[in-house]
């Protein structure tokens, strides 16, 4: 037996090692498929399948060369090994192998045109100390026009890495959407159990429960409800199977909003923006810049620069405060040498806009022992107590803030904590003049300076004299308002008044000014990390809000409690991410301490 060294090419799959992990690609194989189909000059398509009605067995006339169709469909099946994003499209065309028709071959060529425009994409695998299994499952109820059977799809992650995925038509008819979704839950729980057993045999046991995310509330309820109902007797085996795993603590079935249901990509055609987002979540991305083997990251993890960025959002600051509370508790558990760990111990720069700036100061301001004045868990409590004072009440009046509450008792406190500046809308925080080592004018920057991530990167590269490849960012949002349907112009012609006010009480111009920054904060910075092949150095955690939850100055007790729950749910949904981030931050800190003591 001969040792051939590290794997580089196996069964048509190219394996490239780089500092961030492994990159799996079938580019050469994909080019062969395109050549075989006679489409080397075809116009690329942005997605592998459109959002129109699904294919039927009687779509069009019989195709003249069924053998060619079957050959190309089979070849595309193998391509899904590193391109899970095309799994649903390939599954659909494979349903008609026995009798391909003209519309079926058109759908097949649509997939090839998508591949033509995305030849460089491949599957990334990253090193991770997180051994949590996380699954997403979805079902398209009654989607098949011929049989009305549902299409199930799921994906399973080990830490941040995609491990298993599937797009498959269910073998039986479902009488309700809840039934179709629950069959999908049972399928992914079965797959997760197999993976857990496999890892156990490989001496890598999973101690934590597998998290299964489903966007159907009824299916989530069925997984833990011990009462049988007349309408669920025919799926009793699936129900008992999942409930048994839940009762034994092996599985937790949780709800996820449809906007973040990654498994949607395996059950239906999606608009380009949503498809691109979900494809990126599957770790299907461009190859890393360091494909030539040169290191994209410093050899010493202690050389990395860590940044925490917090968006603005008024009272919605409660949402990221709950996420930070969970992150801080994880740091305290993982770092045995720092049981009183605080967020500021692990980040070189903490940046925030508006309410995020307030949280930044709270996380970094020192007490008399030179330790952070506030623990992360104290921030949500502070917001609930002080929001009626800080923000205008709902009648539109401003509370009078006593001078002692806003006066800086120690002019050096801001300087010592490293707090340099923030920005805020003067509607909430009036312009304010104060002095530390130099005079400051706190003025409105809510429109011009609303990307705390970029501002922190600029300061980091300037102060630390470092490059972008050494930067690790955790970006926390304060909730993204769901504006679907509110800015649809249709055939109407808008005038000045229409931009300012609509019949449904929406204000389009203000909505654009307030929602666009949330979206662009993510797009700008994430695209940079993606281009340089260091996607794992940027993590964004954001919640989706209903319009009624998106108000920045609703200080009613019920709303504050609702925001607190949203923050807790967000932290729970991203538990695996937070565990991985905490582990990495601890490793970076320990590497620095080791280097300093050497």
Q: Give how far Cα 542 sits from Cα of 96, 257, 471, Å.
A: 40, 12, 20
CA torsion, points 342, 348, 353, 358, in degrees to nearest 10?
30
- Indicate the SS3 state at residue 455: helix
Beta pairing partners, 17 = 22
Q: What whole-number distance in Å separates Cα of residue 454 and Cα of residue 466?
A: 15
146-161: b or e for each residue (b if 16 or more CB lie within 10 Å)?
eeebbbbbbbbbbbbb
Q: Give how far Cα 49 sits from Cα of 115, 116, 388, 535, Å.
A: 11, 14, 50, 26
Show the tokens assigned to 51: 């959002």
| Cβ–Cβ < 8 Å for 232, 239 | yes
Q: Give how far Cα 87 sits from Cα of 15, 22, 252, 325, Å.
A: 21, 21, 26, 38
Show the tokens assigned to 187: 């399928």
The residue ranges of DSSP E strands in 173-226, in sequence order, are: 210-214
Active site residues: 354, 444
In a 10 Å sphere around its CB, with 0-12 CB exposed, 13-18 middle and 19+ buried, how is residue 11 labelled? exposed
In this structure, the strands spanning 151-158 and 133-140 are: antiparallel
Q: Give how far Cα 437 sits from Cα of 5, 410, 411, 415, 419, Å.
A: 60, 12, 8, 7, 12
DSSP 8-state assignment for residue 407: S
- Indicate the SS3 state at residue 56: coil
DSSP 8-state assignment for residue 42: P
Show the tokens assigned to 483: 């504006």
């Amino acid at each position: 037996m001969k040792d051939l060294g590290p794997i580089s090419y196996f069964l048509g799959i190219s394996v490239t090692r780089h500092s961030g992990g492994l990159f799996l690609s079938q580019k050469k194989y994909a080019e062969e498929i395109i050549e075989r189909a006679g489409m080397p000059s075809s116009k690329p398509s942005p997605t592998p399948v459109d959002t129109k009605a699904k294919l039927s067995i009687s779509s069009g006339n019989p195709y003249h060369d069924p053998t060619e169709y079957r050959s190309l469909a089979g070849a595309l099946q193998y391509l899904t090994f590193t391109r899970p994003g095309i799994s649903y499209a390939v599954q659909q065309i494979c349903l008609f192998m026995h009798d391909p028709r003209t519309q079926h071959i058109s759908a097949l060529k649509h997939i090839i045109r998508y591949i033509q425009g995305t030849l460089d994409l491949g599957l990334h695998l990253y090193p991770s100390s997180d051994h949590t299994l996380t699954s997403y499952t979805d079902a398209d109820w009654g989607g098949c026009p011929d049989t009305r059977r549902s299409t199930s799809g799921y994906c399973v992650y080990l830490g941040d890495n995609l491990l298993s995925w599937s797009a498959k038509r269910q073998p039986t008819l479902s009488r309700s959407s809840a039934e179709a979704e629950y069959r999908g839950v049972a399928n992914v729980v079965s797959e997760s159990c197999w993976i857990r057993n496999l890892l156990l045999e490989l001496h890598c046991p999973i101690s934590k429960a597998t998290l299964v995310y489903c966007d159907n509330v009824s299916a989530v309820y069925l997984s833990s409800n011990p009462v049988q109902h007349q309408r669920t007797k025919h799926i009793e085996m699936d129900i008992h199977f999942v409930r048994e795993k839940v009762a034994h603590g092996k599985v937790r079935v949780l709800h996820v909003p449809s906007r973040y249901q990654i498994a949607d990509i395996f059950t239906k055609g999606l608009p380009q923006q949503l498809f691109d987002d979900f494809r990126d979540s599957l770790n299907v991305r461009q190859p890393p810049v360091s494909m030539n083997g040169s290191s994209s990251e410093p050899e010493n993890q202690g050389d990395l620069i860590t940044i925490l960025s917090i968006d603005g959002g008024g009272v919605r600051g409660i949402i990221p405060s709950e996420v930070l509370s969970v992150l801080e508790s994880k740091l305290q558990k993982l770092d045995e040498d720092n049981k009183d760990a605080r967020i500021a111990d692990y980040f070189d720069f903490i940046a925030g806009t508006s309410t995020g700036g307030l949280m930044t100061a709270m996380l970094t301001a020192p007490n008399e022992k030179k330790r952070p004045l506030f623990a992360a868990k104290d921030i949500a409590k502070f917001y609930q107590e002080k929001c009626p004072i800080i923000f205008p009440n709902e009648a539109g009046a401003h509370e009078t803030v006593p001078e002692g509450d806003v006066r800086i008792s120690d002019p050096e406190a801001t300087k010592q904590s490293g707090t340099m500046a923030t920005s805020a809308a003067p509607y909430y925080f009036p312009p304010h003049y104060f002095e530390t080592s130099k005079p400051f004018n706190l003025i409105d920057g809510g429109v011009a300076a609303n990307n705390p991530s970029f501002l922190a990167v600029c300061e980091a590269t300037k102060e630390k004299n470092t490059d972008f490849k050494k930067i690790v960012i955790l970006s926390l949002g304060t909730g993204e308002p769901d504006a679907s349907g509110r800015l649809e112009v249709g055939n109407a012609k808008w005038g000045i008044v229409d931009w300012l006010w609509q019949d449904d009480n929406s204000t389009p111009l203000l909505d654009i000014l307030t929602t666009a920054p949330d979206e662009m904060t993510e797009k700008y910075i994430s695209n940079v990390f993606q281009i340089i092949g260091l996607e794992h150095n940027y993590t964004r955690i954001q919640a989706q809000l209903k319009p009624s939850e998106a108000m920045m100055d609703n200080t009613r007790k019920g709303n504050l409690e609702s925001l607190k729950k949203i923050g807790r749910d967000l932290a729970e949904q991203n538990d695996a991410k937070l565990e991985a981030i905490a582990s990495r931050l601890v490793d970076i800190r320990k590497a620095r301490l080791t280097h300093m003591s050497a």
